[in-house]
Amino acid sequence: MISVWKPFAHTVQPELQGLVDLTSIMGSDRFSSSLLDCLGRWVQSQHFSVLRMDKRQPQMLLAGTLHRDPDLVWRCWQAYARQFHQHDELYSQMLKTDQSRGALVGHLLAEDIEFAPYRQDIYLRNGMTERLSGLTWDDQQNPVFFNLYRHKEIGYFSDREIAAFEQLTPALIQIVRGHMALSSPRRSNANEQRSRLVRHAPTLTTKELEVCERLLQGMTHAGIAAQLNVKETTVKTYRNRAFARLGINFRSQLFALMQE
């Protein structure tokens, strides 16, 4: 069954080394790929997403996967953003819950999804059995949704994992928000970014510029792919071409160019 509740303190506290490890790489390129590894000591998951739930259409802010299929995040996001966010019963229930005390926690089993196309196209087709979600609000009062997904090859979330997620959610959401803030350049606006990029490499194409601008916003390759409506491999192709024109190899060097 679908359930929603407020996290509360437990008498048994998990050791905090995983959160310390995650905090130490906030703002770095390794954050998305390391998040699931850091969480693994409490909650095993192969797929996560962070979404801003805009009224018109949700936006992916961050995502990552340990799944053997690297395109899984992109496929699920495309389907969700295209239509299925309108049938997300867990999100709907969380919005109806008292929001006066901060973050909410929710749990959804695939078999509880009433809208069959949503259940089939995202969960059953990709072998996902359930989802744990944390919901909070950003400074503009937009809902921000943090999701962990479980795949059938590793079974269902245990009661202990669900309890750990409940306890960790408030801190975890703040760490993710901190990472996204640190990933964004603070000294130049969007127009200045594009001007600097063009100054460094006048031959950059529109698509290459769009990918670079989103990398500077701290977006993942999966998030950029979803926003530009292309495959993740295409995003990486544009990134590689842009980096070659700019004479750089890493995202950190792209940030450095913005400070010159």
What is the pLDDT, as a whole number, of residue 112?
A: 94
Q: How far apart are CA 20 and CA 39, in angstroms?
A: 11
Mean pLDDT of 174-180: 86
**Contact predicate 223/214, CB 8 Å:** yes
Find all residues with CB under 8 Å of 134, minimum gap 6, and list them.
103, 104, 105, 106, 145, 146, 165, 169, 170, 172, 173
Mean pLDDT of 211-224: 84
Question: Among 27-31, 88-92, 249-253, which is the least confidently predicted range?
Answer: 27-31
Mean pLDDT of 224-247: 91
What is the pLDDT, as a whole number, of residue 43?
A: 93
CATH code given to domain 190-257: 1.10.10.10
> CA angle at residue 112 from 106 to 114, to 5 degrees?
115
Q: How far apart are CA 6 and CA 99, in angstroms?
A: 9
Mean pLDDT of 238-247: 95
What is the pLDDT, as a whole number, of residue 133?
A: 96
What is the pLDDT, as a whole number, of residue 109?
A: 96
What is the pLDDT, as a whole number, of residue 108?
A: 95
**Contact predicate 218/183, CB 8 Å:** yes
pLDDT digits (tens, 9 = 90+) for 38-77: 888 899 998 899 998 877 778 888 888 888 887 788 788 8
Find all residues with CB under 8 Å of 40, minimum gap 6, and list them.
18
Query: Is residue 190 very low, low, confident or very high in pLDDT (cuts 50, 70, 90)?
Result: low
Query: Which of 186, 235, 180, 188 has the alpha carbon at shortest distance from 212?
Result: 235
Query: Is residue 101 very low, low, confident or very high in pLDDT (cuts 50, 70, 90)?
Result: low
Whether the per-residue pLDDT at 214 is higher than 50: the answer is: yes
Whether the per-residue pLDDT at 14 is higher than 60: the answer is: no
Q: How far apart are CA 224 and CA 122, in angstroms?
A: 19
Query: Is residue 146 very low, low, confident or very high in pLDDT (cuts 50, 70, 90)?
Result: very high
Backbone angles phi, psi at 258, to 5 degrees: -70, -15
What is the pLDDT, as a whole number, of residue 12?
A: 42
What is the pLDDT, as a whole number, of residue 188?
A: 42
DSSP class of residue 259 equals T
Please tell me which residue, 123 or 224, carries the higher pLDDT value.
Answer: 123
Q: How far apart are the first and last CA of the chain?
A: 54
Q: Is the pTM of this model over 0.75?
A: no
Domain ranges in the chain?
Answer: 3-183, 190-257
Q: Which two tokens stand for residue 197?
A: 């990029």
What is the pLDDT, as a whole number, of residue 116?
A: 96
Tally of CB atoms within 10 A around 64: 23
Query: Which of 29, 31, 21, 50 has the alpha carbon at shortest distance from 255?
Result: 29
The CATH class that applies to domain 3-183 reads alpha beta
